């Protein structure tokens, strides 16, 4: 059962860059060893936290997109919990949402085509495209 998850975590702001690199590569290896795949790693940089977390007012945000079964996430979360410099993390399943967004995108594109085509061609169509353009506009 392959699912896509988004794992966002915050590390303490005073962490050295090399340590962070090491941490990320560690996490990546845990994902691959748990038969998952890392799709992307995004460093969102240092940001002020909305509230104090473990006496820190700011933190470095990292976004990890992972594909795999739930066991991958389980293992990743366990690691993050144990890792001391990680002050907060959040896992969100995103595949369903992505599917939904793609569906909406497709629908919108097909509507665009529908409203563009009959206007150029058929003569019995003019009623419907007119109604559609007003609906989409």
Q: Which of residues 13-32 bind another protein (CB under 8 A)?
A: none
What is the rounded distance in angstroms from the CA atom of residue 70 to the CA atom of residue 133? 44
Residues 89-108, interacting with another protein (CB under 8 A): 89-90, 92, 97, 101, 104-105, 108
In the bound complex, what is the minimum distance in angstroms from residue 123's beta carbon to another protein?
31
Q: Any contact of residue 81 with another protein (CB under 8 A)? A: no
Question: Which DSSP state fits 124?
Answer: S
Helix axes 70-82, 17-33, angle to 10 degrees: 150
Smallest separation, CB 26 to another protein (Å): 21
Closest CA to 133 of 115, 106, 120: 115
54 touches another protein by CB under 8 A: no
CA 112 – CA 67 distance, rounded (Å) = 33
Site for another protein, rule CB under 8 A? 8, 10, 48-51, 53, 57, 59, 63, 88-90, 92, 97, 101, 104-105, 108
């Amino acid at each position: 059962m392959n699912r896509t998850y988004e794992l966002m975590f915050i590390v303490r702001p005073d962490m050295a860059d090399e340590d962070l690199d090491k941490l990320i590569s560690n996490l990546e290896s845990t994902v691959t060893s748990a038969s998952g795949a890392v799709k992307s790693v995004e460093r969102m940089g240092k940001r002020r936290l909305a509230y104090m977390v473990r006496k820190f007012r700011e933190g470095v945000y990292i976004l990890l997109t992972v594909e795999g079964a739930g066991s991958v996430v389980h293992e990743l979360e366990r690691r993050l919990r144990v890792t001391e410099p990680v002050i907060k993390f959040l896992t969100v399943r995103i595949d369903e949402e992505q599917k939904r967004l793609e569906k909406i995108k497709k629908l919108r594109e097909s509507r665009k085509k529908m409203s563009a085509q009959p206007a150029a061609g058929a003569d019995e169509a003019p009623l419907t495209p007119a109604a559609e353009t007003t609906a989409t506009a």
